[in-house]
Structure 1
Amino acid sequence: MSEASTNKPSLIAYTVTGSDEKSYFNRIGAAWPNSKGGFQLRLFATPVNGEIVLLPPKERVPAEPAEE
């Protein structure tokens, strides 16, 4: 298994659809840093418009326990 598939990605790849009023970000892949200062990009889909947006992953906030 490659190093990229075992570590958390540095960037998430999205394609953006919709209009200026309402945009939808659809996750299509991820990117990991490589040893030469670049990134390895793994895509699970290819956007029809050819545009990919790379953003840092969102921090996941743990859910608070429900009150009983």
Structure 2
Amino acid sequence: MKDNQNTKAGKTEAKSPTYHAYTVRDAKAEGQKAFWTRIGAFFAHDDGEGGTLILEALPLDGRIVLRAPKNDE
């Protein structure tokens, strides 16, 4: 996934997402874990008043969950 570009003082900097977006589908059988698929990212606005959610896919069912990126991502 491409990072958003942020331009300051004539320089272009890559902006990391604040959260990754996942679609989460519940397991069909009891005792199984839910199935998580990464579908996009959320980039916070510099003014702290919200942000932009960029989705690369839309879930057919389930829910969308935003999670902070881990260091290894």
Mark yes or no: TM-score above 0.5. yes
- The answer to whether residue 23 in structure 2 is matched with residue 12 in structure 1 is no
How many residues are matched? Answer: 60
Q: Answer 1 or 2: which has greater strand percent.
A: 2
After TM superposition, which residue ranges in structure 1, 4 or more long, deviate above 6 angstroms? none
Mapped partners of 1:6, 1:24: distance in 2: 30
CA shift at 1:6, angstroms?
A: 2.4
Q: TM-score when scaled to structure 2?
A: 0.67
Give the gaps of 5 or more residues in structure 1. 62-68
What percentage of aligned pairs have identical amino acids? 35
Distance 2:64 2:36 in 1: 10
Give 5+ residue unaligned stretches, structure 2: 7-12
Q: In structure 2, how many angstroms separate the alpha carbons of the residues matched to 1:9 and 1:36?
A: 14
Higher fraction of helix:
1
